[in-house]
């Protein structure tokens, strides 16, 4: 049975789900049991082996935000070597039928899912995510995105017409026939640049979309979060080797913070697609310097919240507090700026002051952190000293509503566990509150009224982008106006949603991220006709 046939039912289900709105994020099939922990611990201090890689160079200096020194080293090479290896397999991979490419990807995906416990530990100990979150939400989100990207690519490639015969008559010449064949032409070598906070789930869609559309892919992890992507690349290469396909279709490009290679790779004319999830500064650099490539960028952005009013203040405060506490505000959809009218709101029929709303959110944060597992399973650790520095730098920029302080977590005495800093400021201080930060810092911003809240939020989104906008109101006109304004800027909107999960991540589907754009997958390749004269 071919790999494609083995996973055919799953692909069909994913194609069906696509038509209904997206692949659902499924609960994990693996567990955080002793076996998973042991399997992860065996990696510590090891020389990580990548199937088919014999390069002698080795790099690696990851330290867990929980306090563990990983001491894993990875094989490495240089940009010219990676590019040459990608070029060497290009034609073979492009000539591999889409069914076989998809079969390889779904087989590797199944292997990763079966080993999701180890992947969760690897994510937790490179990013600071709580291990439970890494297993239960960010891992499955990545699996769903990888599956959806693969299914989308399959559908897009299958829309390419079959060969056709046509007559080239006309202008007095005798009738001639030719056959036209359509070729799927990848844009070049693909580059996936990993992030330090969500290495797997942020890379999954771009990686699988580029591979499925016949690109050789260079995976360049953040130096602080190599291990999760190393496990992913190893799983893919293992399946490629078993299928007797060239393993260099996907390569791991490890560098260090001191000698980064990303810009050198991104500047290469042979690189035709770049996926990057991470900080705004590098995204802007790519925008300016990598015109030759199709860019798919996902930056944290403003993620504004417009609070106009609510029937359920407790649920609202808890919902926002959860989003701020979850991985210490480092998720891509974490709210960063909460706009509240300076003269307060109606909350369940009660006039509530600006400070009342702010204290409601701050109090809900305390409650969540005080619950069992509040720190270990929700907050997690800051990915880097730079994130901690961002908290300290923000401190003087507003009136403190809640201080960020280090919280103890049993078993991890050196963990970088800091709760959210919540500051109050006013709408005129855009430079302070809108600065993009991936850190546990949130501003509650006083506006003249909700009209100004929406206007300020849309303005900030125009400057810095956003992965999600939230609006809370009991007034339909307000919800509509805000939804119109944010959607027009390309930002997904969540109106009055107060469930426990964060929209776009664990809650439902892969849909709230760029993957839903029709060109996320289909824009990776061109379709080129090759005509050839034939006998009639």
Looking at residues 445 to 464 of the shown chain, list those that interact with a copy of itself (rule: CB under 8 A): none
**For residues 365 and 324, is the Cβ–Cβ distance under 8 A?**
yes
16 binds a copy of itself (CB under 8 A): no
> How far apart are alpha carbons 78 and 33 in whole angstroms?
38
Give yes or no for residue 283 binding a copy of itself (CB under 8 A): no
Rounded Cα distance between 268 and 186, Å, is 16
Question: 3-state class of 388 per DSSP?
Answer: helix
Copy the structure tokens of residue 137.
Answer: 């939400």
When the beta carbons of 258 and 535 are compared against a copy of itself, the nearer one is 535
The answer to the question of residue 96 lying near a copy of itself (CB under 8 A) is no
Cβ atoms of 337 and 442 within 8 Å: the answer is yes
CB of 42 to a copy of itself, least distance (A): 32
Angle (nearest 5°) at CA 275 between 274 and 279: 115
Rounded Cα–Cα distance for residues 305 and 219 (Å): 34
Q: Which stretch binds a copy of itself (CB under 8 A): 189-197, 328-336, 383-391, 509-517?
A: 509-517
Give the nearer residue to a copy of itself in terms of CB position, either 328 or 491: 491
In Å, how far from its chain's centre is CA 229? 13
- Asked if 528 is part of the footprint of a copy of itself (rule: CB under 8 A), the reply reads yes
Q: State which residue, 16 or 33, has the beta carbon closest to a copy of itself.
A: 16
Strand partners, 310: 347
The counts of H helices and E strands in the chain are 19, 20
Q: Which two tokens stand for residue 139?
A: 């891992």
Which positions from 75 through 94 interact with a copy of itself, judged by CB under 8 A?
91
Any contact of residue 18 with a copy of itself (CB under 8 A)? Answer: yes
Q: Is 281 or 533 the residue whose CB approaches a copy of itself more closely?
A: 533
Shortest Å, Cβ 315 to a copy of itself: 7
Asked if 494 touches a copy of itself (CB under 8 A), the answer is yes
Q: Which long-range contacts link 60-63 to residues 24+ away (Cβ below 8 Å)?
A: 60/226, 60/254, 61/223, 61/256, 62/125, 62/126, 62/223, 62/224, 62/225, 62/226, 62/227, 63/224
Pairing of β 217-220 and β 189-193? parallel
Shortest distance in whole angstroms from residue 182 CB to a copy of itself: 7
Q: Which residue has the tokens 């960063």?
A: 336
H/E segment holding residue 528: strand 525-534
Residues between 314 and 353 that touch a copy of itself (CB under 8 A) = 315, 318-319, 322
In this chain, which of 34, 244, 259, 291 binds a copy of itself, going by CB under 8 A? Answer: 291
Total of chain residues touching a copy of itself, rule CB under 8 A = 74
Q: How far is the CB of 85 from a copy of itself (least distance, A)?
A: 18
CB of 447 to a copy of itself, least distance (A): 22
The pair of structure tokens assigned to 106 is: 């779904």
Q: Which is nearer to a copy of itself, 372 or 396 (CB)?
A: 372
> By CB under 8 A, is residue 61 in contact with a copy of itself?
no
Per CB under 8 A, does 164 bind a copy of itself? Answer: yes
Q: Which of 51, 100, 178, 426 binds a copy of itself (CB under 8 A)?
A: 178
Question: What's the rounded Cα separation, in Å, for the pair 42 and 121?
Answer: 12
> Taking CB under 8 A as the rule, does residue 131 contact a copy of itself?
no
Q: Does 12 bind a copy of itself (CB under 8 A)?
A: no
**Among candidate residues 373, 354, 374, the one with its CA nearest the CA of residue 364:** 374
Nearest approach, Cβ of 307 to a copy of itself (angstroms)?
Answer: 14
Tell me: does residue 527 bind a copy of itself (CB under 8 A).
yes
Environment class of 42 (CB within 10 Å of its CB; exposed 0-12, middle 13-18, buried 19+): exposed
Q: Does 399 sit near a copy of itself (CB under 8 A)?
A: no
Q: Establish if 370 lies at the interface with a copy of itself (CB under 8 A).
A: no
Residue among 43 and 322 whose Cβ is closer to a copy of itself: 322
- The continuous run of DSSP H or E covering 89 comes out as helix 79-95
Which region among 5-13, 159-167, 409-417, 449-457 touches a copy of itself (by CB under 8 A)?
Answer: 159-167
**Interacting residue with a copy of itself among 45, 57, 428, 490 (CB under 8 A):** 490
Q: What angle do CA 58, 64, 69 make, to 5 degrees?
A: 55
The stretch among 80-88, 96-104, 108-116, 496-504 that binds a copy of itself (CB under 8 A) is 496-504
**By the rule CB under 8 A, 21 interacts with a copy of itself:** yes
Smallest distance from a copy of itself to CB 116, Å: 18
Residue from 349, 518, 535, 536 binding a copy of itself (CB under 8 A): 518
Work out whether 532 is an interface residue with a copy of itself (CB under 8 A): yes
Instruction: Match 């930056």 to its residue by tokens.
Output: 299
Residue 182 contacts a copy of itself per CB under 8 A: yes
Verify binding: residue 167, a copy of itself, rule CB under 8 A. Answer: yes
Q: Tell me: does residue 281 bind a copy of itself (CB under 8 A).
A: no
Question: Where is 219: in which H helix or E strand?
Answer: strand 217-220
Closest CA to 417 of 5, 135, 190, 124: 124
Taking alpha carbons only, the member of 244, 35, 14 closest to residue 110 is 14
- Residue 185 binds to a copy of itself (criterion: CB under 8 A): yes
x/- track of binding to a copy of itself for residues 468-487 (CB under 8 A): -----------x---xx--x
Whole-Å CA distances, 102 to 5, 69, 99, 148:
10, 37, 5, 11
- What would the DSSP string read from start to end of 323-364? HHHGGGGTSTT---EEEEETT-EEETTEEE-HHHHHHHHHHH
Q: Which of 162, 224, 349, 420 binds a copy of itself (CB under 8 A)?
A: 162
Kindly state the helix (H) or strand (E) to which residue 288 belongs, with its residue range: helix 280-289
């Amino acid at each position: 049975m071919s790999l494609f046939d083995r996973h055919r039912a799953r692909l069909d289900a994913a194609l069906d789900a696509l038509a209904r709105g997206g692949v659902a994020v499924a609960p994990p099939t693996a567990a955080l049991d002793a076996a998973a922990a042991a399997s992860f611990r065996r990696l510590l201090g090891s020389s990580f082996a990548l199937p088919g890689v014999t390069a002698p160079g080795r790099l690696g200096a990851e330290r867990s935000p929980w306090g563990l020194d990983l001491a894993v080293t990875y094989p490495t090479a240089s940009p010219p070597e990676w590019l040459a290896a990608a070029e060497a397999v290009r034609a073979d991979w492009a000539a591999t039928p889409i069914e076989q490419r998809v079969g390889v990807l779904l087989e590797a995906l199944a292997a990763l899912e079966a080993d999701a416990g180890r992947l969760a530990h690897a994510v937790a100990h490179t990013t600071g995510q709580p291990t439970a979150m890494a297993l239960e939400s960010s891992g499955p989100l990545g699996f769903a995105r990888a599956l959806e990207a693969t299914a989308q690519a399959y559908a897009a490639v299958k829309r390419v017409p079959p060969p056709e015969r046509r007559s080239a008559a006309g202008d007095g010449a005798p009738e001639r026939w030719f056959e036209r064949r359509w070729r799927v032409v990848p844009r070049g070598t693909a580059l996936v640049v990993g992030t330090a906070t969500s290495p797997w789930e942020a890379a999954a869609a771009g990686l699988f979309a580029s591979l499925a559309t016949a690109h050789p892919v260079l995976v360049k992890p953040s130096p602080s979060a190599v291990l999760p992507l190393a496990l992913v690349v190893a799983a893919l290469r293992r399946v490629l080797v078993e299928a007797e396909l060239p393993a260099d279709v996907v390569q791991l490009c490890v560098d260090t913070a001191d000698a980064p290679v990303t810009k050198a790779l991104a500047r290469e004319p042979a690189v035709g697609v770049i996926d990057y999830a991470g900080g705004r500064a590098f995204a802007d650099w790519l925008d300016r310097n990598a015109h030759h490539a199709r860019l798919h960028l996902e930056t944290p952005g403003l993620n504004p919240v417009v609070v106009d009013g609510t029937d359920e203040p407790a649920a609202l405060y808890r919902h926002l507090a959860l989003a701020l506490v979850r991985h210490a505000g480092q998720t891509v959809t974490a709210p960063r700026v909460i706009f509240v009218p300076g003269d307060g709101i109606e909350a369940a029929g009660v006039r509530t002051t600006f400070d009342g709303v702010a204290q409601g959110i701050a109090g809900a944060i305390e409650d969540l952190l005080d619950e069992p597992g509040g720190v270990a399973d929700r907050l997690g650790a800051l990915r880097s000293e730079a994130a901690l520095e961002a908290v300290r730098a923000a401190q003087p920029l507003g009136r403190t509503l809640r201080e960020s302080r280090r919280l103890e977590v049993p078993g991890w005495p050196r963990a970088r566990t800091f709760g959210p800093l919540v500051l109050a400021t006013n709408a005129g201080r855009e430079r302070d509150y809108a600065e993009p930060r991936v850190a546990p810092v949130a501003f509650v911003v006083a506006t003249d009224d909700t009209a100004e809240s929406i206007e300020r939020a849309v303005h900030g989104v125009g400057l810095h982008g956003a992965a999600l906008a939230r609006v809370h109101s009991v007034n339909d006109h307000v919800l509509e106006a805000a939804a119109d304004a944010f959607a027009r800027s390309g930002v997904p909107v969540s109106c009055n949603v107060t469930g426990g999960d964060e929209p776009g991540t664990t809650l439902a589907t892969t849909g709230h991220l760029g993957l839903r754009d029709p060109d996320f997958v289909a824009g990776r390749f061109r379709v080129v006709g090759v005509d050839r004269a034939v006998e009639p």
